[in-house]
Amino acid sequence: MTRKISFSEAINEAMKLAMRKDENVILLGEDVAGGAAVDHLQDDEAWGGVMGVTKGLVQEFGRDRVLDTPIAEAGYIGASVTAAATGLRPIAELMFNDFIGSCLDEVMNQAAKLRYMFGGKAKVPLTIRTMHGAGFRAAAQHSQSLYALFTHIPGLKVVIPSTPQDAKGLLLSSIFDDDPVIFFEDKTLYNMKGEVEEGFYTIPIGKADIKREGSDLTIVAIGKQVHTALKAANMLADKGIEAEVVDPRSLSPLDEETILSSVAKTGRLIVIDEANPRCSAATDISALVADKGFDYLDAPIKMITAPHSPVPFSPVLEDLYLPTPEKVLKVVAEMIGDETIVTV
C-alpha cells in the first residue's frame, strides 16, 4: 500500500519507525524539538527542526531520546560517534551541510576511521542527516552540496535520495547500517510529494535506480538533479531521443555496474551534479566510465554542474548557477550534432 506524502514526511516517518523498532535509536541536533526546558512546552516542541522535518518526534519519544543540543557541532557530532560505538544508534542532525566546517574532525578523523584503526574491533552505527542544495536563496554558507567531500573519505557511506519513497527506505537502511552514513536531504525537495509505501521497508545503500529507461543516452544525476534530468528526458522524447536517467542514490558505495551497463547500452553519458565541478561526484562518475567503459562511448562524456564559484545570493545569479533542463538540451544537441533539439 502506498499513499502520497512529502519528502519531509517520508523522512519523518522513517525516523519514527526506526525509533519504535529499536530503543537505541536516538535523535540529536539543534532544535530538533526546540524549546528545551521551557516550562510551558515540556514534551511539546517549539520547532521540530528548523524546517519542521522532526516534528512530532519529541511528543512520542520524549526529551531523553529527542535531544536538543547547544549550537556546538564539534561537541554533539563527536559525542554521537562514541555514543554509536558504545551501544546507541544515533541519528545526528547537522542542520546545514555547510556547518561541517565546525565538526569535520569528528566525522573525518573519528567516525570514519575508528573501525579501521582499531582493527575491526569497533563499529560506528551513526547516521548524520544534513540539509544541502542551492535554490533556496540561502546564500554561500547555507546552500552548498558537499557530498563529494565525504565520498572522498573511506569509512563513510554517502546517501542522497531524490524522491520521498527513496528517502524513507534509504534512511531506514542508513539508521540500521553499522557504518557511519551521511544522509543528504535537499532542502528544496522537502515539500515534493510522491507515492510512499506504508510501514517499514528498506532500500539497499549502494544500489542505483533507473528512474527512466532509454536507449539513446545515459544521464546520471545526483539528488534533486534527477528531476532536472527527467524533465530534460521528457523534452528530448518529444524530439525522438530516449534518455535513460540513472539515480545512483548513494555515492559511497557507488553502483558502478548499473552506470556502466547503462552506458554500454546507450553509448553516451551526461552527468548532472549541482555541486562545484572540481573533484566532484560528476568528475568521479565520469572518470569511472572513462576508465572502465571507454569502449562503450560513442561521444565524449559531458558534465553539467555548478561553476567553480560559491553559491551567489541574488536570485538571478543563483538561477544561472544551477543546472536546468535547457542546459541539458544544449549539451545533448552538441553531443549528437543536432542543433534543432534546442529549438522549441
Partner 1 sequence: MTVMKPEMKSLTREKAKWMYEKMCEIRQFEDKVHEIFSKGVLPGFVHLYAGEEAVAVGVCAHLDEKDSITSTHRGHGHCIAKGCDLNGMMAEIYGKATGLCKGKGGSMHIADVEKGMLGANGIVGGGFPLAVGAALTAKLKKTGAVAVCFFGDGANNHGTFHEGINLAAIWKLPVIFVAENNGYAEATPFAYASSCKNIADRAIAYNIPGEIVDGKDVVAVYEAAERAILRARNGEGPTLIECKTYRNYGHFEGDAQKYKTAEEKEKHIKEWDAIAKFRRYVLSQQLLTEQELHEIERKVIETVKNAVEFAEQSPFPQAEDLLKDVYVSYQ
Q: Does residue 40 bind partner 1 (CB under 8 A)?
A: yes
Q: Does residue 109 bind partner 1 (CB under 8 A)?
A: no
CB 174 → partner 1: shortest distance, Å? 25
Binding partner 1 by CB under 8 A: which of 42, 56, 75, 334? 75
Q: Does residue 36 bind partner 1 (CB under 8 A)?
A: yes
Distance CA 92, CA 107 (A): 11
Q: Does residue 139 bind partner 1 (CB under 8 A)?
A: yes
User: 193-197 and 181-186: which strand pairing?
Assistant: unpaired
Distance CA 294, CA 291 (A): 6
Q: Which residue stretch of 41-49, 232-240, 253-261, 265-273 sits at the interface with partner 1 (rule: CB under 8 A)?
A: 41-49
The catalytic residue among 142, 152, 227, 308 is 142
With CB under 8 A as the rule, give the number of residues binding partner 1.
45
Q: Does residue 99 bind partner 1 (CB under 8 A)?
A: yes
Q: Does residue 327 bind partner 1 (CB under 8 A)?
A: no
Q: Which residue stretch of 70-78, 171-179, 195-203, 236-244 sits at the interface with partner 1 (rule: CB under 8 A)?
A: 70-78
Q: Does residue 46 bind partner 1 (CB under 8 A)?
A: yes
Q: Does residue 62 bind partner 1 (CB under 8 A)?
A: no
Distance CA 90, CA 67 (A): 11
The residues with which 29 forms a beta bridge, in sequence order, are 68, 93
Q: Which residue stretch of 93-101, 203-211, 236-244, 278-286 sits at the interface with partner 1 (rule: CB under 8 A)?
A: 93-101
Gyration radius (Cα) of the chain, Å: 20
123: nearest Cα among 95, 159, 81, 160: 81
Secondary structure (3-state) at 61:
helix
Sign for the pseudo-dihedral over CA of 206, 207, 213, 216: positive
Q: Which is nearer to partner 1, 279 or 287 (CB)?
A: 279
Q: Does residue 201 bind partner 1 (CB under 8 A)?
A: no
Residue 302, phi then psi, degrees to nearest 5: -120, 145
Binding partner 1 by CB under 8 A: which of 62, 204, 300, 307? 307
Distance CA 111, CA 120 (A): 13
Neighbours of 278 (CB within 10 A): 10
Q: Does residue 106 bind partner 1 (CB under 8 A)?
A: no
285: nearest Cα among 255, 245, 329, 325: 255
Q: Does residue 312 bind partner 1 (CB under 8 A)?
A: yes
Q: Does residue 142 bind partner 1 (CB under 8 A)?
A: yes
Active site (annotated) includes residue 152? no
List the strands of the sheet with 243-247, edge to edge.
209-212, 243-247, 217-221, 269-273, 302-305
Q: Does residue 64 bind partner 1 (CB under 8 A)?
A: no
Task: List active site positions.
Answer: 142
Interface contacts to partner 1, rule CB under 8 A: 30-31, 34-38, 40-41, 44-47, 50, 68-75, 98-99, 101-102, 136-142, 307-310, 312-317, 320-321
